[in-house]
Structure 1
Amino acid sequence: MKIINLAKADTPGAKTYADVIDDMRVQMGLDHIACGTVVPDRPELFGYGTYPEAWLKIYGERNLFETDPVVIVAYQSASPFNWLRIRDRPEFAAFFALAFENGIPRNGLSIPVRGAGNSFSVFTVSKHCTDSEWARHISPQIGTLMFLASQMHDNIVCQINGLPSAYETLPPKLSDREIEVLNLVEGGKSIEDLSVTLAVTPKTIEMMIRSARIKLDALTLDHAIARAKDIGLLAA
């Protein structure tokens, strides 16, 4: 699979993707950020990343996308996953050993993103640190990272297709109550809390959340909140 490097491509503003990525990396205290995107009917992998040049060269020359454990697990997942869960699995040991030898951190988090038209991205962040340091560092940032992953996926797909975002041209219409529920959930309210606050049954709350997810083309509640922020339905 041919890899198209988007790191130097123009973004909607004055900055390149490389600038945007590096800003995010510094602000969030990370060592690396990377993303790979595929869309139907296109044979290329569109990607960018801050990994060492030696690793990017090996990855492209050996076509490692097809055997990358992060990609394999991401295709099977609907939620973010920590590398700690997969890096010691015997079937992935050789790949991770090669990656670590070429400057890739042992600790990372990967976020699968599925968009309209079966487009797919894997958004990954990583840092050189101990397992316990990583857990403390990354846990408070997962919600923000999911928002960024969704936003970057949509921007990359639009760039690949040469089209404006579908969410900009035809934003989904959520009811006022669905928006209220997403706002409250994003603020930390549980389904039980919402049931009391809104004087409806927990099942009704679950139905409203499911309806919002479907309208936003989101697989998870966190993904729905990220997309709602992306198009301005919720405050970012």
Structure 2
Amino acid sequence: MAANGIYQDPFMHTWKPEAGAHLGFGHKSLLQSDDLYQYILETSVYPREPEPMKELREMTAKQPLNTMATSADENIFLNMLLKLINAKKTMEIGVYTGYSLLATALALPQDGKILAMDVNKEHYELGLPIIEKAGVAHKIDFREGPALPILDQLVENDKNHGTFDFIFVDADKNNYLNYHKRLIELVKVGGLIGYDNTLWNGSVAAPADASLPEYVTYYRQFVLEVNKALAVDPRIEICMLSIGDGITLCRRIK
């Protein structure tokens, strides 16, 4: 833990899954059947996937840290969800190549806006040409650096409170609770916050002494803590979905 009380992330942008890990970009799912997951992709994802999404997905799959990207079926879900709630102003913490960011941008109206944050702009710039070609780059306000200082600045200004329709968090799991303390002020009543990886490769249900890859073990306790906190937070109602690596949707109710 750093002097400022914020946990530091020793694995951020450095870990690589072990051979056979179930977090591969082609199968970032908790489903036990590869064939069933492939059926989902070929039936409901790939046939209707926008060409820019396909291009960015395939480009991202070639990157060394491709497991940091959200799964194709999760992105299709997020794209539809944003349309259903008529989202116009959103935020994304953790961008990588911008795969989920593109799914969001394509769902928003032409005057929609996304505040996007990531500590590595180089990764974002890998996908930026595809985002620009898709004609949605103007919707994105990208900020490089840690998210917490940016969030603190937003929270300090009362005008930002309750103004975001949707916020998606797919970043350092050890800071999820720190993010939540700030994001709950920024999302509107009736708006949604989505926390990704809340089933963390299924490890949340594993025995305490289970033999797990080092990075899974490290983050597991943080994920368990945030899941416990979200479950009892009276300001939200939640729905934990077993899509991708697990995503918990939090609807602010007060």
Name the TM tier (shorter chain).
0.3 to 0.5
TM-score (norm 2): 0.31
TM-score, reference length from structure 1? 0.32
Which protein shows a greater Rg? 1
